[in-house]
Amino acid sequence: MVIAIIIGCFFIVLVIAMNQASQNKEKINEATNEIKTWMEDNEFKVTSDLTFYNGSLGYTIYIDESSKRMILLNTLNKMKNVLEFENIIGMEIIEDGISTNGIGRAVVGGALFGGVGAIVGSNTGKKMVSNINAVIYTNCISNPQIGIILNRTKIKTDSIIYRNTMDFARKLDATVRAIISQNENRE
């Protein structure tokens, strides 16, 4: 009897998860089609993109190097931010309220305190993280920061989910650094 209840509960959870995944796929397809129409109407030519999905979170970043614009698209709620390269002034990656800027603790420790700091920095890392966000800063007073929620559940820092999340965050950070470098070279 207990086994039947456990199997029944497992089946219900499986059906709910499959339904949620199907709904997310529909939302992603709908958002993608809408953004493609917007890009055609606004002469936005994608030269590169970054995509990230983590359960109930999904983002695609589109870059148009010729028109110097970036689109940040939350594909699950269809929220889009269009940024002109010239308005982007910075970015940081925040884990559980602490800015990591996409670099490892050992690198930070080494930069601050030399080789000993690198050893200490590598050993002080958390085993679990609950929140990972990326924040892009702009020079627009009406919208000075754009937050990108990358994780909002407890995950192990040695898990594939964490590695994939941080991989996306580092690629986004590198993209923003390249944009800022181009902005500085134009001045």
Confidence (pLDDT) at 110? 45
Q: Per-residue pLDDT tens for 153-184?
A: 999 999 999 999 999 999 999 999 999 999 88
State the pLDDT confidence band at 11, using cuts at 50, 70 and 90.
low
Torsion angles phi and psi, residue 171, rounded to 5: -65, -40
Residues 45-103 have pLDDT tens digits of 999 999 998 877 889 999 999 999 999 988 777 788 999 999 999 999 999 999 886 54
pTM: 0.72
pLDDT in tens, 114-141: 544 444 444 456 699 999 999 999 999 9
Can you spell out the DSSP letters for 36-76? HHHHHHTT---SEEEEEEETTEEEEEEEETTTTEEEEEETT
Angstrom distances, CA of residue 152 to CA of 37, 43, 78, 160: 31, 35, 19, 15
pLDDT at 41: 92
Q: How many CA atoms lie within 13 A of 105 on its CB side?
A: 12
